Structure formats: C-alpha cells, structure tokens
Amino acid sequence: MAKLEISDLHVSVITEDTSKEILCGVNLTIDAGETHAIMGPNGSGKSTLAYSLAGHPKYRVTSGTVLLDGADVLSMTVDQRARAGLFLAMQYPVEIPGVTTSNFLRTAATAVRGQAPGVRQWLKEVKDEMESLQMDPDFAQRSVNEGFSGGEKKRHEILQMSLLKPKIAILDETDSGLDIDALRVVSEGVNRYKAESAAAGEAVGVLLITHYTRILRYIQPDFVHVFVAGQVAESGGSELAEELEADGYVRFTGQAVPA
Amino acid sequence: MTTTQILNPTAGPTLGGPNGLAAHSHVGGRTVRTSGVASHLHPVASSDVADHPVPTSKSELWKFAPLRRLRGLHADAEFTVGALTATWDAIDGVDVRVVSGAAGRALKGASDYLPTDRVTARLMEYNPDTLLIDVPADSTITEPVVVTIDGADASIAEAAHVLIRLGDHATATVVLKEQGSATVAHLVEILAGDGANLNMATIADWAADTVQLAHHHISVGRDAKVKHSLLTFGGDVVRTAVDVDYRGPGGDLEMLGLYFADAGQYLEHRIFIDHTPPNCRSEVLYKGALQGDHARTAWVGDVLIRAMAEGTDSYEMNRNLLLTDGARADSVPNLEIETGEIIKAAHASATGRYDDDHLFYLQSRGITPEMAKRLVVRGFFHEVLNKVGISSVIDHISDTVERELAISGM
Ligand SMILES: Nc1ncnc2c1ncn2[C@@H]1O[C@H](COP(=O)(O)OP(=O)(O)OP(=O)(O)O)[C@@H](O)[C@H]1O
Ligand SMILES: [Mg+2]
C-alpha cells in the first residue's frame, strides 16, 4: 500500500538573481486510500509544494526528505517520479501546440505502464473515461490543452489521472474555474478513481489543494491541513474546513486575508 | 507515364545578347524603379544584368548570406549545360513539358516578373529551359502534379526555370521536389488566374553539397486562392526569396514554411508581399528548427501595404526553435503600411529554446526527457505541416523530421 512521507521539507524558488525560501519545513504523511485537503491563503506555498513533489526545475529543495513507499523521491527525475506513481493535476496546465492529445495520452500511458497498451482496448478506455468526464471526443484530436477552456483543462487533468492510475494524486486547485456542473463531473471522476483503485487493492492517496469547501462536499477529506507561510499550521478534520470557510485564515495569519 | 528530361540541354542563350530580349514585352529590357518609400522593400526591378551590381555583405538583401560559400552564383559564375533533370508522371488535363529556345524565352517573366537581383537577371538572360506546368482555365485537377528536380553535379553552375500557370478558375495541386547535388540558380514563377485555386509545395531536400539561390514569384489573380508551402531541409546553402503580388482584389494567399538546419547549414527565406489592390489577404507562418554548431537560418518577412490596398488582411509569423548551443537564427519581420483602412496587419517573430514548462508537463506524465523533446519538436513542425493539405508531402516531411531528430540522437 502506498505511502507518501514528507519530512521537514524546505524549498526555495530560483529566480534570475536570488533564491527565496517558500517552503519552511513541511511535514505531511499521506497513506493509501486517504484524502488530505490543503487550504491556505494565496502565496502560502501550496503550488510550490505540489511542484516540488513533482520535481519542477524552478524549485530547489534545500533540505528535508520525501519518500514514496520508502523510495527517495527527491533523487528521482520528473519522469521517474511519475512512473513511480506520483501524479500532479496542475493549477495551470500548459498548452503544447502541435502535440495531439491522443498521441500525448498514449505516449504517457506507455511510459507509465512500461508497455504500449493494446490499441483497441486503449481506444475504448480513453473513450469511456472521456464520456464519464463529459468531454467531447474531438478533444483527442486537438493539441494538448490548446484552446481548452479553464474547465476543459481541468477535466483533461483528471482524465490523465484516470488513465495513468497513480498511487498518489496531487490535485492543485482542480476545482478552481469550474462551474457547478463541471465541479460535480470532475469530483465524480476523482471519486470514481478512488473507488476503482481501492477495489483493485491499490487505493490512491489524494492531496487536494483548494480554496473552497464546495469541492469537499463531493470529495470527502479524511484530513484538512491549514497551510500558512510555507508550513502546515494546523491539521484537523472537515470541521476545520468549515471554520476556514466561515472565518478565513485570520486565526492563523494574524491578519485579514484579502478577499 | 513517367517522363524524365534533362533541363537546360541548349548551350546558353539562343537569342541575342543581354538586351536581345525585346521580343517579349514583359522582359524587354524594362526597368522599374519604385520611388517613394526608400527601403529594401523596393529593390530595382530590371532585366538588365548591369542594373544589378554584384551584392556584397553590406547589401541589405544579402547581409545574412555567406557569400563566400555561394560558388559565385550571386556574382558571375558562368552557367553551363548541366545535369539537372526533371521527372514527372503525366496527369490527365495538365500539360507538363520543357520549353526551350525562343519559346522558352518568351516564358521568362510570364508571371509579370522582372528580376530584382543579379542572379535572377543573369538566369533570365541565360535563358535555361522552362519547365512549364500548365493547367487550363476552368479545369479541376484533383491528383497532385509532382515534379522531381534532381541534381547530379555540384561542381558546375546551373540555372533552372519553372513556370506554374493556372488558367482562370482552374484548381490544381503542384509539388516540386528538389534533391541531389547542384549549384543552381532557380526561378519559379507561379501565375494563378482569376478565381484559380492553387495549392503548391516545394520540398528542398538537397544533398549536403548543394548551393541553391532560388526566387519564387507568385502572381495572385483576382479572387484567386494560393497556398504556397516551402519546406527546406537539405543543402549546404539554400536561399529562397518569395515575391508576391496581386493582380486584382480578393486575392487570398497562405504561405507556410518549415526548415531544419543542421551543423554548418545555412538556410534563408525572404518574403516580400506587395499589397496593392484592395481586399486581399496574406497569411504567413514559417517555423524553423536548428541543431548543431554553426547551423544558421535567416528569415525576413516584408509586407508592404500600399495606399490603395484598403481592406487588406495580413498576418505573418516566424518561430525558431534552437535545439542546441552554437546555432543561430535571425528573424526580421517588416511591415510597411501606407493606408489605415485595413482589416488587420500583424507580424510577430520568436526565437527560443525548448519551453521548460512544456517539457515539465510531458515529463510529469512519465515521458522521458528525450521523448518529451521529440514530441515538442514534432508538435512544433506539425502545427505547420497539418495545414499543408497534401498528404504525400505531409508523409514525406514527417519522415524527414524523424531523420533530423535522429541526428541529435532523439
Ligand atoms: N517562479 C517564481 N518566482 C518568484 N516567486 C515565486 C515563483 N513561484 C512562486 N513564487 C512565490 O512563492 C510564493 C508561493 O507561491 P505558490 O504559487 O506556491 O502559492 P499558492 O499557495 O499556490 O498560492 P495560490 O493560492 O494563489 O495558488 C509566492 O509568494 C510566489 O510569489
Ligand atoms: Mg497555487
């Protein structure tokens, strides 16, 4: 069973002339089958945490460890992490001109599964997942994320999660920019994968970064963490999310959060 | 039926000297100097070689080109009867043939073209055979006309002339495939009649020792639609200038370009689009990739929108992808507008390396860095290739791109 252990993680962002510490000792353990929600003010470092786990070159880990089932994640390349079972649904998925979505998905699945999926079974798999996410089949023929609306990009991220079947899924604001119907469709997609992976004995661990409790009504978190100034400031259950929604982050930051 | 014919079998000009060209009204020693905007957008147009001094590296139009590697083509290298051949399969309804001597001379400048540089003026004076691709008015040819031009000897200077002529309301697809070893000056004239619809692609995939100075002239008829794709891959030095003018309103031109320069290669594309009649459209998209030491490319896109050209819709874009250190791409879009009554006039150019965020996104899905780069480069090219609309060309270029990627071990 999968386990992601983040211990005392310090990360700096590398800019042209300086480097600035964003994560200041993050501790978090996600076990198989658990769903952890992370909530925190803008700029507190939530995306930095997500990107650092995925290995984005812009961020430098200065100390701490990240273990996936005991294996040292930080010494792996970006693609190795993905093949080891980490998946990041990005807050702002990039557009890649000229690379068709179908080609991209198949290349990724081949890489992660270690062999090319059979053509017929693959096409059915993609078609079924796209249908459940209410994505137009035409998307497969378009360039990756190009011209996709905000909501379409997020569905595409969840589509990739369903196809790549990670052990640990990090969802960075997958709910942002979704209308209420899309939110339900996307949440159902996540829940479907949670159930499927559990049934297969490989229950996914989910790290869900969000600003809103509305997604937590669809995807039940087992833990809620308040993230402030590059650290987990407090952890609790869903009641913590309700408190944050009602009162904001004042109790943790000592100041009102800009609306 | 496949026909192969040696181009240029006659020894040099058969009619008179440099000024013995009066028989043909388009060429007859006429000199046009456009006054007004004084810029390189308006070089001297003249069939008189003497009007075109030998260019130097200080000449605006030649400042990027490695003149010393041109084997004198730009200066006075003597044209000789060469080894260039043209091969094509006969297609019903299209007249493809080689026209020599006086009849061939009468076809030089048939697209209402006067040379704007020395090499083309010399070519017209020399009067190589004309490979004529003639599509009669009102006919629709569905199958692509494919002509392969093959060089066999880079040690001699040769000249070649191609004329693609579509009658009014004719529709056709034409592919020129250039390959082999040559030192060649090349003039391709494209005459699209009123309401005609031409899709043409030129694949310049020469052997590594080839030097080519090419000039394409496109004359777009009233309400005609022309798609012109230029795909440059092989050769030591390949420089192609494309001049476009419109003979009436409603002309619609799409220009697509792809190039891939390897170590030591020099590839240049120069475009000049002259919007004179109103309500014409031009859309230009060129993309290039470079890899290896001293891989060099230059792209210059000039668009002139004259005072009368109201309702012009013009867009040009050049993108270059530097795959390794040591490569250099110059990109110069120019826009000169003399009227405000236009729909759009936009130009842009960008040169850069891989986008880290593209690579990160792909790798974060388990794709190896090598494969991610390969996908990005393929995607970069396919964005243009998908618009070419000729399946044999798309297949050919896809293979060529894979071959190029294999060079850098991708
Ligand atoms: N490339 C960068 N260059 C400079 N600063 C950066 C860079 N990336 C992140 N930062 C800074 O790091 C801090 C944390 O950013 P991060 O994106 O992780 O916040 P976040 O918690 O995800 O915010 P949001 O809720 O707005 O998504 C911010 O102050 C941000 O400005
Ligand atoms: Mg964020």
DSSP states along A38-72: EE--TTSSHHHHHHHHHT-TTEEEEEEEEEETTEE
CB B208 within 8 A of CB B236: yes
Does A88 reach chain B within 8 Å, measured CB to CB? yes
Q: How far is the CA of A58 from the centre of ligand 2 (A)?
A: 15
For ligand 1, say whether the CB of A47 is within 6 Å of any of its atoms: yes
Q: Give exposure, A136-173, as e/b (b: 16+ Cβ within 10 Å).
A: eeebbebbbbbebeebbbbbbbbbbbbbbbbbbbbbbb
Facing B375 at nearest CB: one of A54, A81, A99: A99
Tokens 């209420």 correspond to: A180
Q: How far is the CA of A71 from the centre of ligand 2 (A)?
A: 26
Which helix H or strand E contains A246, and what residues bound it? helix A238-247
Torsions phi, psi for A256 (to 5 deg):
-70, 140
- Domain assignments of chain A as residue spans, ordered by start: 3-97+144-253
Å between A88 CA and nearest CA of chain B: 7
Does A1 reach chain B within 8 Å, measured CB to CB? no
Which ligand 1 atom lies nearest to the CA of residue A44?
21
**Mutation target vs B (from A94, A113, A115; most B CBs, 10 A cutoff):** A94
The fourth-level CATH superfamily of domain A3-97+144-253 is P-loop containing nucleotide triphosphate hydrolases (3.40.50.300)
CA distance B24 to B15: 12
For ligand 1, say whether the CB of A150 is within 6 Å of any of its atoms: no
pLDDT digit of tens for each residue in chain A (259 aa)? Answer: 799 999 999 999 988 888 899 999 999 999 999 999 999 999 999 999 999 999 999 999 999 999 999 999 999 999 999 999 999 999 999 999 889 999 999 999 999 999 999 999 999 999 999 999 999 999 999 999 999 999 999 999 999 999 999 999 999 999 998 999 999 999 999 999 999 999 999 999 999 999 988 999 999 999 999 999 999 999 999 999 989 888 888 888 876 555 4
Q: Across the interface, do B383 and A98 touch by the CB < 8 Å criterion? A: yes
For ligand 1, say whether the CB of A22 is within 6 Å of any of its atoms: yes
Provide ipTM, 2 decimals: 0.95
Q: Across the interface, do A143 and B383 touch by the CB < 8 Å criterion? A: yes
Count chain A–chain B contacts defined by CB atoms under 8 A: 82
Average pLDDT over all residues of chain B: 90
Percent of chain B clearing pLDDT 90 (strictly above):
83
pLDDT tens digit sequence for B213-228: 999 999 999 999 999 9
